Structure 1
Amino acid sequence: MAGDERSALVAGVGMIPFGKPGKSPPYDEMGTAAIRLAIEDAGIGFDLIEQAYAGFVYGDTSSGQKVIYKAGMTGIPIVNVNNACASGSTALYLARQAVESGAAECALAVGFEQMVPGALGLVFSDRPSPVADFNVICDELVDGEVPLAPKFYCGAGKEHMDRYGTTLADFAKVRAKASRHGARNPLSVFRNVLTEEEVLESPPILPGIMTRLMACPPTCGAAAAILVSPDFAKRHGLDPTVRIVAQAMTTDLPNSFDPPDMINLVGSDMTRRAADAVYEKAGIGPDDIQVVELHDCFAQNEVLTYEALGLCPPGGAQRFIADGDNSYGGKVVTNPSGGLLSKGHPLGATGLAQIFELTHQLRGTADRRQVDNVRYALQHNIGLGGACVVTLYECAR
């Protein structure tokens, strides 16, 4: 694909090892460390950054300033971004827009999260929940005493099982695959290899639908990326290898709620529309992609996302998994990093951790995780409430 003088190049990426709550540094130290790694990777000074976007969910106002000021106080615009689990990729989306529009030639996106143990919950109980409308549908369609986030994906997983014949073992195969990939990633929280049987035998979240090992854990961490224009890269002698070809952000349509459909409620329609927009803009299709980092907050969502991204047809995920088309030697390597299931899911950092992985895949520097002959890489990051960002990268060598 020919280069575009208005495109955004990925000049530098940084990521710290993710960790369990209570065993990681505070958010400001993590975020600043990730920024410094991205600056070092790019080979520029902080003074060349013209705008910055900070993604996080569980933090007070101006947390982005607290993080970024430690890396440099140059008076640039800093925008704080809270867009559920898609906060990191939303920060990236805004940085990409700034560079492509000419508003900035060098922009920073950083994501970080300091989380607490246990299931996700609301911080403010004295006002309407932003997912209240989602909860109404979920409570109507899903039986069982299950924490909020798992309940959504239990419902979506069961709907897929009922509609297409997917089994609990299929979800277990996906989780086992994630552990094999994560074992190769020194930045992952969990690097122990799991078997399908171990996943199936872990305690049930909802019997017959989801086990505990099919759910990603709360984790802490940070990651960052620096985007620049081609002219900026040329002037400063930066690596132009990785280019954002296309990017789309979507939110919910009425069909997320009516008719009631758990698969759409957790974002499959948002994903499909974002992916279709990216493929159309880029002039390629899912068959052209060699590696994908997708939002596997639960093994069930990875299965749904295969189909929503067009990696296989609707109802084709079971065959896709059975044929090994989701791993090395197959059709497209999904989550070589280990994904959220093994790498961890510090909400605001997740979207930037995905670009970290894909940048190294496109550069050919992913070490034991390297996928052969990567030209196109796809990123998918989603948050209930809702938002979805799909980004296509190209090796521009």
Structure 2
Amino acid sequence: MIFENTRNFAQSLDAQDELRSYRDEFIFPQVNGKQVIYFTGNSLGLQPKRTKSYIDEVMADWANLAVEGHFYADKPWWDYHERFAVPLSDIVGAKPTEVTVMNTLTVNLHLLMVSFYRPTLKKFKIICEEKAFPSDQYMFQSQIDFQSKSVGFDPKEALVEIKRREGEHNIRLEDVLAKIDEVGEELALVLIGGVNYYTGQVFDMKTITEAGHKYGAYVGWDLAHAAGNIKLQLNDWKVDFAAWCSYKYMNSGPGNASGCFVHEMHHNDSDLPRFAGWWGHNKERRFKMEPKFDPVRGAEGWQISNLPILSLAPYLASVEMFAEVGMDKLIAKRDVLTSYLEFILQEIDKELESAEFEIITPSNPDERACQLSVYLHGQGRELFDRLMKNGVITDWREPNVIRLAPAPFYCSFEDMYEFGQILKQAILNK
């Protein structure tokens, strides 16, 4: 498609957008009396208007039924989480038995590492990407410190980071595969963010998973920036496990519940250790209060406590919206919308003739999704502040990057054009 940097062209793209009505399904903040241009769906998605009715339903059931809401609410609480199985499996490319919701993201990754990080003296190393999200880095170190005390390996040798090449912003697939080969039989686990939070780079999960399995390692993925954003085929790729948050592209509200995936090949493996709780116990016998743990044969067998229904209600509102639209349509719009944003940034850079910024997200559409990370040259946080004051809600990351995520559910093509005009004036007025 040949793009144009004009309002009329952007409006024409919006007129052709079959998802345009979903923009009205969300609540936008306002700045200076105007609806904002919202680019931070990769941090916290906007609130769907339908969310309130889902929460109100639970509150009414609590008021009217009290404890009996567990069994007699319109959506009984005791199996509320089961309503996520089909829509979430469609979103992440899994079977319904392979997904569930529980806890929050880093908690779930810790719990899954109990099962899938099983180091020995000779096989104890973890591969992750350089500049992983800090919570993952802290998790790795704490798990390594904990395990090394009982197993006896050197914790300083356990974490292996895949580096970017000098002068490059993204990690090459060939370097990931080379590092896996280098670590070889010492490799116990590969755990990488499916989409790097800082650059927006999408990793080739299928190829990396196959490479890790070649050495008998488990392979898991932190899908915080991937779930609801990119095409996933976790079952087909034979990913061992994965977890994701629900409050970014899936718009479930701040700090909300996490989804997790455990491949069906592990469901009946009684040798896998896990931290157990009563909500992971055999559903048909859960309320018999038996002393011996008998796990559900599926991802639900990793659940520990009964679910926070008030947190799940907004998540359910969102996943049902995903089920209405489907990932294929969201991804199709995402690709055009992100390409148009890239075009607008390039056009503004040409007009200014100043090389004020550089897009560090891969230009190859297969290696990026709904995010462009922009490195500011000759600019600092002042530009970010000027954008925010002019109603562009974006995200600042040290030392000098703004992240722009045009989420296809609620961002428009005219938003991209209008952002370009605001950006140009913000740079001219520095």
Q: Same fold (TM over 0.5)?
A: no
TM-score range, shorter chain: under 0.3
Structure that is richer in helix per residue: 2
- The two structures have a TM-score, normalised by structure 2, of 0.23
**What TM-score do the two structures reach when normalised by structure 1?**
0.24
Q: Which has the larger radius of gyration?
A: 2
